[in-house]
Amino acid sequence: MKRLIVTLLGLTAVLASCSDTTTDATTTTTISTTSTSSTTTTIEATGPVICDVIIGVPAEDCIVNVGDEVKITITNPNASDEMHLHGYDLSSGEMAINTPTSISFTADQVGDFELESHVTDEVVMMLRVTE
């Protein structure tokens, strides 16, 4: 019986608190979040790819990617010369002895291209443009 009275008193206290007519102001805070997409940064080399050619010194193939800016620098320490890059139809113009001369262009064709002396018809370098 004591147990029933204690339970009823507890229940009465709970009900009394539920029927309280006083109200408290309630503040609602909305937090919005934004998701950011991941970004990829591509770092590109600045300046042209430089291929150096010295006539009389064996030159390795100059390998570049299509779209690269290319600068071929040619020096003939032994004679005046003129170079021609086949496929691109570019010329160095007349080159003075032992004076570096350059051919600059954008590699926009894929393939192998010979750099040839107009004086000796010797292929002095092979330009390889890859995708």
Is 124 within 8 Å of 74 (Cβ atoms)? Answer: yes
Cα separation, 29 vs 32, whole angstroms: 10
10 versus 88: which is more confidently predicted? 88
* Beta-strand relationship, 90-95 and 62-65: unpaired
Q: Quick one: average pLDDT of 93-97?
A: 96
Of residues 113 and 43, more confidence is placed in 113
Q: Which CATH class is domain 49-130?
A: mainly beta
pLDDT in tens, 43-75: 455 689 999 999 999 989 999 999 999 999 999
Query: Taking 80 as the threshold, does the pLDDT of residue 108 lie above it?
Result: yes
**Structure tokens belonging to residue 7:** 């339970």
pLDDT at 82: 97
The stretch 79-104 carries a mean pLDDT of 96
- In the predicted model, what is the mean pLDDT of residues 86-97? 96
Question: Percentage of the chain surpassing pLDDT 90?
Answer: 63
Residue 121: CA count within 13 A, CB half-sphere: 0
Give per-residue pLDDT as tens, 21-39. Answer: 444 444 344 444 444 555 5
Task: Report the percentage of the chain scoring pLDDT > 70.
Answer: 65
